[in-house]
Amino acid sequence: MKLVLVHGMWAGPWCWDRFIPLFREKGWDCLAPCLRGHCGSNGNVGKLSIEDYAGDLEKLAGHFPEKPVVIGHSMGGLLAQILAGRGVVAGAVMLGPASPAGIAPVSAVAVFGALSAAGAGGTGQPGPLSKRQASGCLMICPRAGKPNFMAS
């Protein structure tokens, strides 16, 4: 199965150099493309959007006989989420993904309060995460019907 490794904004395919041999040893067919405007490729990064990158990767994924698995770091993680949402990949792994729009930073105390309420049916009793675990949570989506959490 094809494994597509997507770099972040300030990186290139080289950031996967140490990982590719490990994945290949496990039987993965790896590809680490250079995003448009990076690595000396054509395109002005200042004029490109996330949609441009996602479109390029979606076209790439369409060239394989099976849907690939994508691993993305930083902006590549956001792109992996977009591709998964479009259903063009068999799976997605996000490493330190960039945040999509609509997600705002909040304090660990606010996250813990929301987790406690959500985990105990609104009773305010501790939910599924302890205070120590909740301190690793970074963000909550304020527009969601119920809390959506991203943990560090």
- State the average pLDDT for the chain: 75
Mean pLDDT of 107-112: 53
Give the residue extent of every domain in the chain. Answer: 2-95, 104-151
Q: Which long-range contacts (C-beta less than 8 Å, at least 24 apart) are formed by 121-125? A: none
The pLDDT of residue 28: 95
Q: Is the pLDDT of residue 152 over 80?
A: no
2-95 belongs to which homologous superfamily?
Answer: Alpha/Beta hydrolase fold, catalytic domain (3.40.50.1820)
Q: SS3 for 60?
A: helix
The pLDDT of residue 49: 87
Q: Specify whether the CB–CB gap between 72 and 95 falls below 8 A.
A: yes
State the pTM of this model.
Answer: 0.66
Strand-pairing partners, residue 91, are 69
